[in-house]
Every structure is written in C-alpha cells, then in structure tokens.
Amino acid sequence: MPSTYEKIYAVVKKIPYGRVATYGQVAGLAGIPRQARQVGYALNHLTDNDIPWHRVINARGEISGRSNPDYARLQRILLEEEGITFSPDGRTSLTRFLWKP
C-alpha cells in the first residue's frame, strides 16, 4: 500500500511541461480528495527529486506562501522559464495554464 506522499508524488510527476495544477486537483487525481493540505505538506518534504513541484500552485492561481520565501521566488522563475506568465499582482491565468488531463 503506497503512502499518501507516494501517491501525491506520482501525480505531480505527470504534470506536463508548461502547465500547472492546483493542490486540490492533485489531491483528487491521487485518489485522496479534500487533502490539498497534505499535498503541500508532502512537497515541503521534497529534497532532490525529479518531481516538478514548482508546477503546483493554489486554486487562485498564485504561488502559495511558505516558511522560506526564497523558494517562492525560485518557483516563479522556474514557471516563467516554461512560458507561464504572471500578472503584476503575482497571479497566473488558470484558464490558460491549468493542466486538464
């Protein structure tokens, strides 16, 4: 029986280049609805993986706050390198970039 974290990682790995997914969406696809918080918690424990953690954002299209703001800056840079654009208030258009499996 895979742990909750392993299910989450498996889904995040599927997010294609240039697309984003929300925490709630990842939770649903992982078969664990309403556990969006666990998704973020799982990603927080990542160290050096091939998991595209930066493609996971919150339901409002913005990068979620975390204990260390440096990672938020890095996340935005990584997304911009994939062609995802941000509005001046730091949001991205979910209509355009949300991953629809």
Partner DNA sequence: GGTCTGACTAGGT
Partner DNA sequence: AACCTAGCCAGAC
By the rule CB under 7 A, 50 interacts with DNA: no
Shortest separation between residue 4's beta carbon and DNA, angstroms: 4
Residue 39 binds DNA (CB under 7 A): yes
Query: Nearest approach, Cβ of 7 to DNA (angstroms)?
Result: 9
Of 13, 14, 31, 60, the one binding DNA (CB under 7 A) is 60
Residue with smaller CB distance to DNA, 11 or 36: 36
Phi/psi for 56 (5° steps) reads: -105, 120
Interface with DNA (CB under 7 A), residue from 9, 29, 38, 99: 38
CA separation, residue 11 to residues 70, 89, 90 (Å): 25, 28, 25
Interacting residues toward DNA by CB under 7 A? 3-5, 22-24, 32, 34-41, 43-46, 53, 56, 58-60, 64-67, 71-72, 75, 89
